[in-house]
Every structure is written in structure tokens, then in C-alpha cells.
A and B are shown apart, each in its own frame.
Chain A
């Protein structure tokens, strides 16, 4: 009851005219940076940070939080429309989202992404409001062995990302692991596979890699076509998800939300990992898994719900412990400090008004984003009607800007182009890039947590079975690998 009263108080502050205007501004900007690949919420928040000093602390922070939430909504747009992932958390959305768009169902895909995002973000917020304390205590229990076990579980999902040959998927995953090993050794800081290029010291960034493998490769492949393009005509009634879509997607949204909810609390990689895992779970549970990769709406609904739920719950460690679990929240953490507010266990005691105002503003922001994004869908779908000779150069421009804006470094543009050509060759030989990206994201986390665990246990592997959470995840991994084999064997007997 007390929490409800405090929330109402927070909502009252957030509803004041100037605060409402700031939420709106934040959501608008966030949607914009989310839609544009490359420049992400972290960059946008840090650029606006000096400007925000003119505002009162609460107003500044709710605007900056609005940018983060807005970007999470916008991230899937380019994945679905043109196969260019706006950020790492939207890579999986390309797989089925783009296929839906090619079948004239771009509106349904965008719509389900927006609704899924709204539902997931709202559930995440309720969790943030009610059980933030116990949840953050749980997150702290995750040490290197627990991370190792969960990431291992993530690796088993490569099986589900494979649409055709599992062996080819495994080869791609190996490529991803090698690419992920580029850079300084995470423990000893010795350069590995850097060939004396200092821009490689911190490794490759996932965004230029993904933009190249998906976006640029798609354009190169399309250039082969000599037949004049058929403009995809979208009828107005196809602009929004229909009842059939909803029935198919509802469980995917719920499961995606739950997965994102818990993974978001864990420091490091929450939204990305949860989007891959939720996609794998949907494919595993689907009656006809072969629909995935050919425009299954669950393949859009699940990851988009998961990454938004994760974005909401990632505020939990920041607000309750003072630990930002990802880069964007680290920038936001800096913003809090610059405004003289320290996120952490004392926040609720020292600045309850600000705490509740932030929560209230995020509820309002979600509603604004839903209302703002729905009318945008028909507009986005029009993009597909642009003739190829104009659309393709625009997409290439988008890819180049996106790659450059990550680190303001021309080097990343070359990386993007190299992987664009590589991605084109992969298509020719019938390899899929998704397992590569997953292994690339997971590989470095896997390595560092394995090595830290073994440092802690002084070389004993027992550390992974002595700790309950780690053991549980390892048992799950085992089941994921063994169950399909068991099913196949029993079927054969019958």
C-alpha cells in the first residue's frame, strides 16, 4: 500500500507539465537513436549530458531514462525493414523479422515488436517497483562459476539457431569464437591476433560485424537479381497484427518477458543474451520449428519482449545497489552523479521523490512510446516502397554511419565492409551468420568467467558443481543436449 502511495506521488511529479515534456522529448530522441543503427542510447545520453545541467536533477534523469527506453523500442525497426540490426540486442530479430517484411507482413512484425515491448517493459517496471530489493540480492549471488554455467547454456542454443546444417552452424560458431578472441587477453592483457593494429586491442565491436554480416551482405546478394523489383504492396488492413498473429505470439511474448526479466538483472550482456535465449526457447517449443527463419512471428515477438523486459529490470541493480549492469546505465550512472544524486542503497532513503518520479516517468514513457510508435508503423512500411536504386545506397549509407558512430573510428567502417563481403560469401555457400554472432558475443564472457572461476578455485573444476545455481544451469545444459537425442532414439524404436 505504501509503495502504491509513493508511486502515485511519483506519478504526480512526473505528470507536471515540464516533466511530461521532458519524458516526451526523451522518448522521441530515444526512438530516433534506436532506429538509426550504430549511434545508440549511450552516445546520445553522453552528448546530452552537458545540456541537461540546465534542468533540475529529476527532470534531467527522467529525460535521459526516456532515451534509453525509446531506443529499446526503436532498435528492431531497421532489423525488420532492411535486415540491418540497430544494436546487438536486435540481431536475432533480423532472422524472422526481415523474412516477414519480405512476405509483406512488415506491419505485423513491427506491430508485434511494439506491443511485445510495451507489455514486457511494463511487467519489468512492476517487478522493479515491487521486488527490486530481493532481486538485486539474487543478482549478487552470480559469481564467475554461475556466469560460466549460464553462458554454457547459451551456447547450447546455437543448435536452435541453425536452420539447415548443424555442422555448418558449428563451424560458424567456431569462427565467432576466434573473432571474439581478438584483442587483449582478458586476464593477462597480452595482445592476441591483433597483428600490431592498435584498433584491434580492444577487440572487434559487435555492431559493425552484425551490420556487415546482415545488412551489407543482404544488399550484395540482392544485386545479383536481374529481374526488376516487385514493389511489395502492403494493404492497410495488413499494417497491424491480426488476431491470428496475436494467438501465435502471445505465449512467445510472455516467455520472452520472463526470460528478459531475470536476465536483465544480471550485470553484463542481459538484453543480448536474453534475446538469443528466448528465440531458442521458442524454436525448441514450437510444433513446427522449421517455420523459424522463414517469417515466424514468435521469432520477432520473443526476442523483442525479452530485450525490453531486460532493459527495464536492468535499472534494479543500478537503483538499489549502485551497480550499472550495462554500458548505457553506466553513462546514466555518471549522469546521476553529475546531478549530485548517488544511485545505490541510500537512494530510496535520501531521495525518495526522485526514485519514485523515475519509476512513474517510465510508466508514462512506455505509454507515450506505444502511442507514438503505432502511427509510425505505416510510415516505416512505406520505406519498402522506395525503388531499390534509391533504397540500397541509402541503406549502405546507414551501414557506414552506423559502423563509424560506434567509436568515431574509420577502422570500424572497414571491418563492416570486410564482414559484408564475408557475409555474402557465407550466403553463397549456405552458411548462416546468426550462430557466429551468438558465439562472438558469448565467447569472451565464457572465457573470462571460466578462467576467473579456475583462478578462484586454484584449478579445481569442483567449483562448478559445489555451487547450486551453477550446478542447476549445468544440469539444464545437459538436458538440452541429451533430450533431443533421447527423443530421436525412442522414436526410432517405435
Chain B
């Protein structure tokens, strides 16, 4: 009897907590904001989200608590956010690639366009194609020429089948009709290790390449982004070299679709101001992330454009037959 009454008291008091979570006044935010991250602590998504949160909480005047909920290739955190009240106190920091390619390759617990209200696109990793420092190829052109003359000889590592790095190499091999051996790894660090050990001939990597290129272990042949990288301004982009591909994995903060408009506006302004702060830019520089800026509306457009592009690519390369999650 005693235990039962304790349980019911606990239950009732937790119900009170739930009601306490309802928004009551317009003075947003009046309590701490939770920013969910769908990846483990210490990774580039986690570190950039923490950098942004640290800058934004000074502007909002309330702490932003970063909570890691890894799982489901980043989808668990998005689903967890959608399960909360859409009051703006629970947000999620996610790479656009989870909303785009992960949901094309697997069934997602959300609708890629209509479930979310994007707040800001704030940073992107440094993507590039690299070889070892003692490799014979000094440029991407030399590498491509070699591959044309020696089909099925070159082995390359990427961060996984269907990833942005894989798509980049595929765009090159489709255009030049190259035959090469793809060895997919789990993440950039594993692929980097394989390249350093000489188990593959070249690799398409994310930000993990920066320290290795700076230390002279690797040679950077091309960067994969819209514009030249502020870190390696001398290296050409794939676009400049004649391949129509840029990075589709932009890190963003999203809210549930039906949060109050004024709250969303408030958050958008605060986060935009945060991305301009010196503290934030310094932190990004240290972890090797490139600052970018998309407001909510621009980011929605970005998602739609790249959804189509990546979907066509995944189908063309035979990774999927059709998108597992419908684009709505």
C-alpha cells in the first residue's frame, strides 16, 4: 500500500512538471533551452553545436543545455524533439544529410520537409580528396588520368556508401567513366587511417583531413564545397575542376514545424547573431569547421534542392531503388 501511494505521488508530481512546461508568457525564453544532438560527444556535430550554443545563450539570456542522444544515424534525436512540446524549448542540431540522405536510405520517423521549421544552417565540415604525401599524383587531373589508363587498379576510401564523400568520387568516375575499387569505411577517421597505412590509394574525407594535411602527412587534391575553403585557399574546388558537385551536409538547428512564429523568429535572430560572434568563429576554427549561414527559409530551399539531387544520385549508383521516406 505504501509503495503504491509513493508511486502515485511520484506520478502526479511528474504530471505537474509536464504542465509546468506549457508556455505561459510571451517573454521567450524564460527558462533553459535543450539542444538535442543525434551524435556522440566529441564528434564534429557535437562540438559545433556546443560552440553555437555557448555563443547563443549569451544573446538569449538563458542557458542552452546540449544533450546527446546518439542513435538511428542521427534520427533518434530528431524523433525525440518531435515528441516534445513544440514550444521552442527543445531544439535539435542535425546535419542536413540526416534529413536528406539518411531518410532516403532508411525509413525515417519524420517527414523531411513538413515536420521541421529550420532555424539556421550554421557550419559545414571541410570535405576534400586526398592522397598520401609520397603518392605520385600531384593533382586531381593526374589521378584521373592514371585511373583512366589503369582500370580497377586504384582503391579509394570514403566515409561510407551513400555518404557525401562517396557521391563526390562517384560524380568524378561517372563523368570520366573510371573503374575504381571503393572501400567504404565508417567515418572519416577510419578512412584516414586506411589511407595513412597505404591500404587504399586515395580517399575522400571530412574535417579530419585538416590536421593531417597541415602536418604534411597528406596532399589535398581538391576540396568539395561551393566556394574555396578559407583554410586551404590555394586548392581548387571540384566545381572549378569541372565536376558539378558540392557538399550537401550542412549543420543546422531545427525546431518542430508548429512552434509559434514569434518564438521561431526570436530564435532565428539570436542564432544568426551568435554565428557572427568572435567566440563562435574561433571555436569553429579550432575544430576545423567552416562557418556558413542559411536563415530558416534559405535552409528549407537548400533541403529541397539537395533532396532531389542526392535522390537521383543514390538511384543512379544503385544504392537505393527509391527513397525509403517520402519527400513531403
Contacts and interface: CB of A to CB of B under 8 A. Distances in A.
Contact of B71 (A49, A140, A190, A199): A199
Contacts of A411: 71
A46 B182 CA distance: 34
Interface stretch (A224-232, A243-251, A319-327): A319-327
B181 A198 contact: no
Interface in B106-120: 106-109
Interface stretch (A3-11, A82-90, A337-345, A382-390): A337-345
Interface string A105-134: 000000000000000000000000000000
B170 interface: no
B231 interface: no
B72 A201 contact: yes
Contacts of A343: 211
A179 to B, nearest CB: 16
Interface in A189-209: 189-191, 196, 198-202
Interface residues of B, number: 55
Interface in B17-47: 40-43, 46-47
Contacts, number: 150
A342 B42 contact: no
A455 interface: yes
A322 B212 contact: yes
Interface in B30-66: 40-43, 46-47, 50, 54
Interface in A455-491: 455-456, 458
A47 B67 CA distance: 10
A45 interface: yes
A452 B42 CA distance: 27
A326 B252 CA distance: 27
A184 B47 contact: no
Interface of A: 42-43, 45-47, 49-50, 140-144, 184, 186-191, 196, 198-202, 267-268, 321-324, 327, 330-335, 337-340, 342-346, 407-409, 411, 448, 452, 455-456, 458
A322 B215 contact: yes
B111 to A, nearest CB: 14
A201 B73 contact: yes
Contact of A198 (B72, B194, B212): B72
B73 A202 contact: yes
B283 A338 contact: yes
Interface stretch (B139-147, B183-191, B241-249): B183-191
B319 A42 contact: no
Contacts of B70: 202, 407
B211 A140 contact: no
A330 B105 contact: no
B215 A338 contact: no
B199 interface: yes
A455 B42 contact: no
Interface of B: 40-43, 46-47, 50, 54, 67-73, 75-76, 79, 105-109, 152, 155, 160-162, 181-186, 189-190, 192-194, 196-200, 211-212, 214-217, 283, 286-288, 319
Nearest to B108: A198
B323 to A, nearest CB: 14
A196 B108 CA distance: 9
A340 B214 CA distance: 14
Given A45-B42, A46-B46, A143 B211 contact: no
A409 B69 contact: yes
Contacts of B182: 455
B83 to A, nearest CB: 11
Q: Lowest 5 A-B CB distances belong to which pairs? A: A46-B41, A331-B42, A143-B199, A198-B72, A140-B197
B43 A330 contact: yes
Contact of B54 (A50, A196, A334): A50
Contacts of B193: 140, 267, 321, 323
Given A323-B189, A409-B69, A187 B50 contact: no
Contact of A342 (B161, B197, B215): B215
Given A201-B72, A267-B193, A334 B47 contact: yes
Nearest to A455: B183
Give the interface centre of B71, B75, B161, B162 by most chain A CB atoms within 10 Å: B71
Contacts of A188: 161, 319
A193 to B, nearest CB: 13
27 contacts: A140-B198, A141-B197, A189-B73, A189-B160, A189-B161, A198-B76, A198-B108, A201-B71, A201-B75, A267-B193, A321-B193, A321-B196, A321-B217, A322-B211, A327-B42, A331-B40, A334-B41, A337-B286, A337-B287, A338-B47, A339-B286, A340-B286, A407-B69, A409-B69, A411-B71, A452-B185, A456-B200
Q: Which of B76, B105, B152 has the most CB of A within 10 A?
A: B76
Given A45-B42, A344-B217, A198 B75 contact: yes
Nearest to B194: A143
A331 B181 contact: no
B196 to A, nearest CB: 6
A45 B109 CA distance: 31
A50 B73 contact: no
A342 B40 contact: no
Interface centre among A189, A268, A342 (most CB of B within 10 A): A189
A191 B109 CA distance: 14
A332 B42 CA distance: 7
B211 A42 contact: no
A196 B107 CA distance: 8
A196 B192 CA distance: 32
B192 A323 contact: yes
A455 B181 contact: yes
Contact of B105 (A142, A189, A267, A333): A189
A202 B72 contact: yes
A341 B214 CA distance: 13
Contacts of A267: 190, 193
